[in-house]
A and B are shown apart, each in its own frame.
Chain A
Amino acid sequence: MIRVLVLVSIAITLPAAARNADGTLAVIEYPNCGAPAMVTPGGAFSVRLREKAELFLVSEKTRLPLETRWTGREWGLPTGRCRLPGDLIPGDYTLEAVTPGATDANRGVVHVVENFPDTYTIAQIGALDLRGDDEASFTRVRTLLEKAQAAGAVFAVITGGLASEETAGIYRPIVQLLSTAPIPVFTCPETAASPVAATFWGRGGYVFRFGADGYLAFDTTGPFPADENGPQAAWLYRVRRRIRDSRWSIGLTQYYSHAMGIRAQLTLLVDDPLDALLSSTVPSYEGHPLSTAPWGHTALFPLPPGTSGIPWRLLRIGAGIHEIAVPLSKPAPKSE
């Protein structure tokens, strides 16, 4: 219990993401520390806000007003595109939102990179299952992200559950963990498993681009994976089309089974099939584990829970999408 309190107090007192005092998202829903933006100078990134706001890109030296083009509403919230100046210095920036009644800031969530390489490496990480009373589990995740960075990963995707239970008490220290991660970290939505999740990580799901490639993170948690009765089916159809022109279109989700919501499967695996789907479950069909979605086309990259430690792998994205060996290297220096 004491450890929980220590972790929570660290999360609240450190000058991390502004958010609300209880750690939940305030004005800015996307980007956040579990779904950041990666963009080049002169490029643009998407935002989703609880209300329209003036936006600023903030670093230690600058506070740059952003020109925002409002593009509509998503999950009931206003969305927009922010374009960056071409001479912006690469680095990690804080996104600040100013409304008549409040100022909110998501720290370090806009990663401005010099360019998007044609071939790059990402780290896929399975279920973290972090526990508030297990401080060492947070250290293990931090160490793993440092290993991924040392292996050349430009970002990490977590395709498993973040915590052993979806509560505010455990999400608060995870916000702190991801806000200070050595590489950008993209998490998979788990709103259907717990309404609390949406208050910390945003609702529904999100899409992002890394150069020529498009990524779609969507929710398959909860008692009705990829539920057909709610708003997700329409949202999936729209965002799938949004990344249709990508070189590779890659889905990120926690759970995949051929028996999950059929409408989502028709949209993402049949009518306009993703090139790859990264998840944490190993789907099987007729008793055989699958390497490709049973509908055809989509390559599956399942990463089930390991017997010891957090499962993870490196994927090389370039002329193809394939797993590469984790290079042997000196242990990354421990963080202070």
Chain B
Amino acid sequence: MFWCVLVTVTALAAPPSGQIAYLALGEGARQVAMLDLASGDTRPVGTGTQDGAPVWSPGGDRLAFSTAAGDTRRIAIVSPDTAAFEKLPGAHAWNTHPRWSSDGSAIAYEVSPGAGSLPRLAVHDFHTGREILWGGGREGLFRPVWLPNLDLRLFLDPDHELSIEGVDLGRLWAEAEVSGAVLAVGTTRALGRISTEIYVVTETQVMPLLLDMIAEDSERFVEWGCAVDRKGRQVAFESNDGGDREIYMLGSRGLVNLSNDRHADWNPVWSPRKNWLAFESFRGGRQGVYAVYTKTANVRPVVAGDDFDARSPAWSPDGKWLACVVDEGARSGLRIQAVEEGTPPIDYSLPSPGVAAPAWRPEARP
């Protein structure tokens, strides 16, 4: 079924092509759907009524998202072009937040017995068809993101002499060479309460990202929203170090506060283009989407206004455009905005009353 979509272009501009997957929010229901930017047509993906945010495979041929069935949530894999649909046969009742490995051969996701439990990390290997708990089954690991390579090791452990209690580093890097590694936010106990740190996770090992060596009293602060750049050499995350939530970047230059503002900044998303990062900020009063050039920490508003919220930035494959949700309260829609200043926005008023979690389809790999 195709829906008719109202496309509003404020002024003449060459709209980007491609497709965007998103969550269509209705009354008590949410379903993954897809928007074709050229035609404005939308269509549902799958048959779910309680779906989670969609994530594209690196080649753009498949979507992964969690979907509810009774008291369980499974990871659904859908090929939008062929309508092929499968649910991963996970061993756990509650499976959420899938992320593809950089070659598309595996998916990492959170697993737990139910909605009220702290998650563990599992990885489904498409070659073997097996699901394996990662991090030795450690509880309290959230939001996995794959490292595209192990270049991060160059500045984490340059001399291969690091020693961390409880971590077998030799085994960690050996496992990472074979099966890859993910970064995840993990709960930790510090000063009599829980906090979070960012960890490198392999099948049996969980290693802190060593923020405590770089940032004094790191355990006092709560990190979240971890993202790795395309080359795997820079990690962005949010932390309340400094009193409010800021976007930090860990890379060859050490730890840098990229967003520095007295209002909250959260949800960093790397551009496919080098050194650009999008994030959400309240610095203008309402929630807006901003971009920062990481070499200079120069922040510019992309979609921000006085009478609406903008959230969930998603980069186009060429890194020139950002898609995001624009929310005026009663309804929300999709807006596409060029990162370069002076280009008018393109608004898509979709059939569903609400929109969430846009994900721009990557270009097909040759």
Q: Which residues of A contact B199 (CB under 8 A)?
A: none
How distant is the Cα of A222 from the Cα of B332 in the complex, in angstroms? 20
The interface on chain B, measured as residues whose beta carbon lies within 8 A of the other chain's beta carbons, has a size of: 43
- Give A201-233 interface residues, CB cut-off 8 Å to B: 222-223, 225, 229-231, 233
A230-B356, A266-B245, A285-B194 as given contacts; A73 in contact with B329, CB under 8 Å: yes
Identify A229's interface contact among B53, B191, B194, B240, CB under 8 A: B53
| Chain A residues within 8 Å of B309, by CB | 231, 234
Asked if B328 contacts A76 (CB within 8 A), the reply is yes
Interface flag for B217 (CB, 8 Å):
no
Contact A234-B311, Cβ < 8 Å, known A74-B329, A76-B330, A262-B224: yes
Asked whether B224 lies within 8 Å of A195 as measured between CB atoms, the reply is no
A64 at the binding interface (Cβ < 8 Å): no
Give the chain B neighbours of A271 by CB distance below 8 A: 222, 240, 244-245, 264
| Residue of B whose beta carbon sits closest to that of A50 | B330
Within 8 Å of chain A (Cβ to Cβ): is B290? no
B160 contacts partner chain A, Cβ-Cβ < 8 Å: no
Q: Could you tell me the distance in whole angstroms from the C-beta of A138 to the nearest C-beta in chain B?
A: 27
- Tell which of A74, A222, A292, A295 has the most Cβ of chain B within 10 Å: A295
Indicate if B320 sits at the interface (CB-CB under 8 A): no
In the complex, the answer to whether B222 meets A259 with C-beta atoms within 8 Å is no
Closest residue of chain A to B112 (Cβ to Cβ) is A259
- Separation in Å of the A258 CB from the closest CB of chain B? 7
Given contacts A234-B286, A294-B193, contact A229 B245 (CB under 8 A): no
For A, the interface residue count at a CB cutoff of 8 angstroms equals 34
Q: Report the nearest A residue to B288, measured CB to CB.
A: A234
Interface string of B113-130 (1 = CB under 8 A from A): 001111100000000000
Chain A residues 291 to 309 lying within 8 A of chain B, measured CB to CB, are 292, 294-297
Taking the complex as formed, is B347 at the interface, i.e. its CB lies under 8 A from any CB of chain A?
Answer: no
A289 adjacent to chain B (CB < 8 Å):
no
- Interface hub of B68, B115, B119 (most chain A Cβ within 10 A): B115
Q: With A75-B329, A259-B112 as given contacts, are A266 and B193 in contact (CB-CB < 8 Å)?
A: no
Q: A72-B307, A231-B332, A258-B194 are in contact. Are A295 and B27 (CB under 8 A)?
A: no
B-side residues, CB < 8 A to A, are 23, 25, 27-28, 30, 50, 53, 68, 112, 115-119, 142, 191-195, 222, 224, 240, 244-245, 264, 266, 282, 286-287, 307, 309, 311-312, 327-332, 354, 356-357
Q: Please report A residues at the B interface, Cβ cutoff 8 Å.
A: 72-77, 194-195, 222-223, 225, 229-231, 233-234, 237-238, 257-260, 262-263, 266-267, 270-271, 285, 292, 294-297
